[in-house]
Structures are given as C-alpha cells and as structure tokens.
C-alpha cells in the first residue's frame, strides 16, 4: 500500500494550480525578500491567531531565539521550559545565552506539569535567588499547555511567557488560539508542520506593538530603516516564495485540523481495545490540532521494527528527554529528575498522521498493530 508517515506530495497536488501560480507571480515580480506576499501573510496569520501582530522570520528556532533576545533574555538569565520537546526549544534558550531550567511534563497531556513548574520557580527564584526571566511552554503534538496557571505564575513572579507553537497552529485553550496568550507565540512552518512551507519558514505573533517592532528590527540586521542599524541582530526573514505558499494554504488550515481530528478518532476506535497500547488523551472540544498521533508502547523498538516489516512507517518524538541530551550535559541533570519525560522518551511512538491520510491507510496501520500485538 506504500503508506508514508507524512505525504507532502498529496497536499501539493490538491492545490497545485494555486501554488504554482502564486510561486510564478513572486518570481515574475522578483519579490524574493519582503514584498506583498509576506505582508499579506503576516496580516492574515495574525488574524487567524487572534493577535495584533505577526512577524515573519526564517524558521521556528529563530522565532524562539528572536523573541527571547527581544525580551532581553541573555547571559546569567534562566528560562523555565518543559523536558519533553524538540531540541530547538532549549537550543534557542542556550543560543540566547541563558540557562534552560527544565520542568517535567504531565503524564496525560504530555505538556508542562504546572504544579512542578510552580515548585521549580519557587526554588529557583525564592530559594536560589536566580534570575528567571521567562517561561517557555510548548504546545506539544498539537495540544496547548495549561496556559492559565502558567500565566498566573508569570504574573506572580513578573516573568515573560513565550509560547512554542511550532506544533500547534490554530490549537485552542479556553477559546483562545495558540500564540495569543503569552507575550509572544513562536511558529515553525517546516514542511511537515500543520501549516508547512516549501522550505524553512517561521513567524512570531504578539499583541505588544513595542515587542513586535523590536523583534522585526532584530530579525532584520537590527535596522530600524535601511542602513540605520541600531544593534547587532541577525538575518532571519520570511521570504516571498515561502509566504506565497503559506498564503495559498492558510485558508485550508482549519479544515485540515478537522481532518486530523477525524483520523485520530478513527485510530481511537480501531485501537481502543488492544491491551498494552496506550492511546493519547484527546479533548473532544476541537482544541487539539493533532500534529502527531502519539501512542505509548512497551518494547517499542520491537513494535517499530515489526511495523516497518509490515510497511508501516513510525517515528519517535522524541527518543531522549531534553535535559538528558549530550548538548545539555553541562546542566548536570539525570533521567531520574524527570520521571515522566524519561518514561515517555522510552515509550512514545507516532503513527502516520496528515490531513490527506486515507481511511483505508489508517485501517491498514491499525490491522498491522493488532496483528503484531496478537502475535505477542
């Protein structure tokens, strides 16, 4: 059947004429950097997320880095973030010169455990007198972190909040969209994300006009206007070709999230009675945008290998909790410091999930899993 983990070609073919036409217009106008497509996307994406501003940048990692820098995070500062995410989350904190302080995740939602966050902030700020500047929650796999308690803690301690929305375009928390609750929301449009470009691309949303202007300036060589460089920034801009692709795709995003949720429900229905297979918790209110469908299995490597033999591709997001990666060895954490994230790192397995995935393909994935579990 040749099932792919993500099949980007299907989405391209479904919008081929529109995308080809949009790309051709950018090329014919030579609008490669900045231009009408970029400003139109920034305007439309801000509106979709329910924010006043959107700054297009080069990728999601830069989005995090730029937001941190524009908020003045640097050497000697700490940023509290979650132990279970893609490396870019903590990498951006290190790139800004600060120290990531990791918080374990919740075993049901897989997002930041807010009680552990409260304990962590109390210890770092009140006991150890550390300069914690910000909280960086991650809306992992398409589900938003528990933002109200996070925002309460941020207010209590006077901290900034940067949402990592790379996996959660248009996800919701109590009626509000990802990227509209914190001081800034950082998005990736990496091709396989829920809203994917044709290369690297990213954006930052915010309601704060000063922060928006600072982030835009930092991302464009620190220039306020041409050749008026106010600071050493970086070059990280959303380009015209990527913006053109994103403009074509954005109107379909809600519908694609809906398809993903329908597929998740089908997985649930077909896998619900397999003993030993733990299915993800998915709220029924449409707030989860199902970037990934992540089950938990014991003996994961064997299950993965058997699925591969049956022609079913799977991926592990992520095999090592962030604090336990070699890149963070200097921080001195052990796996025992993050029991939930360490357990998830051993057991999580992502099944194929993308809006164009067919019902028949989901049935084939589930049949293969059932067959493998029946084998024992």
Ligand X SMILES: Cc1ncc(COP(=O)(O)O)c(C=O)c1O
Interaction mask 25-64, ligand X, x per CB under 6 A: ----------------------------------xxx---
Stretch 190-209 residues interacting with ligand X (CB under 6 A): 190, 200, 202
Binding residue for ligand X, selected from 22, 82, 112, 138, defined by CB under 6 A? 138
Binding residue for ligand X, selected from 167, 205, 242, 314, defined by CB under 6 A? 167
Binding residue for ligand X, selected from 42, 106, 164, 239, defined by CB under 6 A? 164
CB under 8 Å, gap of 24 or more: what pairs does 14-21 form? 14/356, 15/248, 15/249, 15/252, 18/248, 19/244, 19/245, 19/248
Cβ contacts of 119 within 8 Å, gap of 6 or more? none
Catalytic positions are 193
Contact call for residue 166 and ligand X (CB under 6 A): yes
Contact stretch for ligand X (CB under 6 A) within 118-126, 161-169, 219-227, 250-258: 161-169
In the bound state with ligand X, the residue whose beta carbon lies nearer, of 138 and 238, is 138
**In the chain, beta strands by DSSP E:** 53-57, 77-82, 99-103, 131-136, 160-164, 172-173, 176-177, 184-188, 202-206, 223-225, 228-229, 293-296, 348-351
Stretch 219-278 residues interacting with ligand X (CB under 6 A): none
> What is the size of the binding site for ligand X (CB under 6 A)?
15
**In 138-275, beta strands by DSSP E:** 160-164, 172-173, 176-177, 184-188, 202-206, 223-225, 228-229
Closest distance of CB 296 from ligand X, Å = 19
Q: How distant, in Å, are the alpha carbons of 137, 254, 291 from that of 361? A: 33, 22, 17
DSSP string, 44-58: HHHHHHT-SEEEEES
Binding residue for ligand X, selected from 7, 89, 180, 287, defined by CB under 6 A? 89
Residue, CB closest to ligand X: 60
Binding residue for ligand X, selected from 41, 45, 53, 86, defined by CB under 6 A? 86
Q: How distant, in Å, are the alpha carbons of 19, 143, 220 from that of 283? A: 33, 9, 40
In the bound state with ligand X, the residue whose beta carbon lies nearer, of 294 and 368, is 294
In the bound state with ligand X, the residue whose beta carbon lies nearer, of 149 and 191, is 191
Q: Which two tokens stand for residue 253?
A: 């995003």
Interaction mask 58-77, ligand X, x per CB under 6 A: -xxx----------------
Binding residue for ligand X, selected from 7, 51, 188, 205, defined by CB under 6 A? 188
In the bound state with ligand X, the residue whose beta carbon lies nearer, of 162 and 369, is 162
Binding residue for ligand X, selected from 3, 46, 57, 88, defined by CB under 6 A? 88
Q: Is 3 helix (H, G, I), strand (E, B) or coil?
A: coil
How many other β-carbons are positioned within 10 Å of the β-carbon of residue 115? 13
Residues that bind ligand X (CB under 6 A): 59-61, 85-86, 88-89, 138, 164, 166-167, 188, 190, 200, 202
């Amino acid at each position: 059947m040749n099932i792919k983990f993500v099949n980007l070609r299907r989405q391209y073919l479904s919008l081929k004429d529109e995308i080809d036409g949009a790309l051709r217009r950018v090329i014919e106008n030579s609008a490669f950097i900045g231009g009408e497509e970029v400003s139109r996307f920034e305007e439309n994406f801000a509106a979709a997320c329910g924010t006043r501003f959107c700054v297009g940048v080069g990728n999601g990692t830069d989005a995090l880095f730029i937001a941190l820098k524009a908020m003045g995070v640097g050497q000697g500062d700490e940023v509290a973030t979650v132990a279970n995410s893609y490396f870019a989350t903590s990498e951006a904190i290190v790139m800004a010169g600060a120290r990531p302080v990791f918080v374990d995740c919740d075993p049901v939602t897989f997002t930041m455990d807010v009680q552990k966050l409260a304990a962590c902030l109390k210890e770092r700020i009140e006991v150890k007198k550390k300069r914690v500047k910000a909280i960086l929650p991650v809306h992992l796999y398409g589900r938003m972190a528990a933002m109200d308690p996070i925002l309460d803690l941020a207010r209590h301690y006077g901290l900034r909040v940067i949402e990592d929305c790379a996996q959660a375009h248009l996800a919701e928390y109590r009626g509000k969209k990802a990227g509209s609750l914190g001081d800034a929301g950082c998005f990736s449009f990496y091709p396989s994300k829920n809203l994917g470009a044709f290369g690297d691309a990213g954006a930052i949303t915010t309601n704060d006009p000063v922060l928006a202007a600072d982030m835009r300036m930092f991302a464009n060589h620190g220039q306020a206007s041409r050749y008026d460089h106010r600071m050493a920034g970086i070059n990280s801009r959303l380009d015209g070709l990527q913006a053109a692709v994103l403009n074509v795709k954005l109107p379909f995003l809600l519908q694609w999230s809906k398809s993903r949720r329908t597929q998740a429900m089908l997985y649930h229905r077909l896998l619900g009675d397999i003993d030993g297979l733990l299915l993800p918790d998915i709220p029924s209110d449409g707030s989860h945008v199902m970037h990934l469908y992540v089950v938990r299995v014991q003996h994961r490597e064997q299950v993965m290998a058997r699925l591969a033999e049956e022609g079913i591709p799977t991926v592990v997001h992520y095999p090592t909790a962030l604090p336990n990666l070699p890149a963070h060895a200097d921080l001195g954490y052990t796996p025992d410091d993050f029991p939930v994230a360490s357990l998830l790192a051993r057991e999580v397995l992502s099944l194929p999930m993308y809006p164009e995935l067919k019902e028949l393909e989901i049935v084939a994935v589930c049949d293969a899993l059932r067959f493998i579990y029946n084998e024992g």
